[in-house]
Structure 1
């Protein structure tokens, strides 16, 4: 089981927030996926922004969030924007 803070983009604060929603390992994060994890975080922490979604996907893909492919960033941004109607 990979510790969360060993993943790219995941620091102590993000680890705390992830654990608070039941994501305790890297495997948990991969299983749940970045979008569902982001949604759960957004429901608990209203100030979570779309960059957090990039960070989650980067952690899953084992890359720094700013190195995600443009098409992935675009898809994640569209997902984040779609949640603005709910939040």
Structure 2
């Protein structure tokens, strides 16, 4: 298990994409934030979905993505629509 997988919501696939995007430590992910990390991942994998963004946000906050507040999810959904449509 890599360092990034120690964060909630980050499995093998997400860790691989993050590493490919140049984000190779939990500290880097937290510093760059979920939105910027998601944009970098979308450049590598245009099929990355809203659930990836939720997972990244949860990882940054140190919580499961299911624990994100409704307000946070609405805000992230707006960001997702802006960058994917």
- TM-score over 0.5 (shorter chain): yes
CA-CA distance at 1:84 after TM superposition = 2.1
> What is the root-mean-square deviation of aligned Cα atoms in Å?
1.2
Number of aligned pairs? Answer: 84
Superposition TM-score, scaled by structure 2 size: 0.94
- Alignment of 1:33 with 2:15, yes or no, is no
CA-CA distance at 1:10 after TM superposition = 0.3
Superposition TM-score, scaled by structure 1 size: 0.92
CA-CA distance at 1:66 after TM superposition = 1.0
- Unmatched tracts of structure 2, length 5 or more: none
| Aligned pairs (5 A) from 1:1-87 | 3-85=3-85
- Unmatched tracts of structure 1, length 5 or more: none
Runs of 4+ in 1 over 2 A off after TM superposition: none
Where 2:43 maps in the other structure, the secondary structure is helix
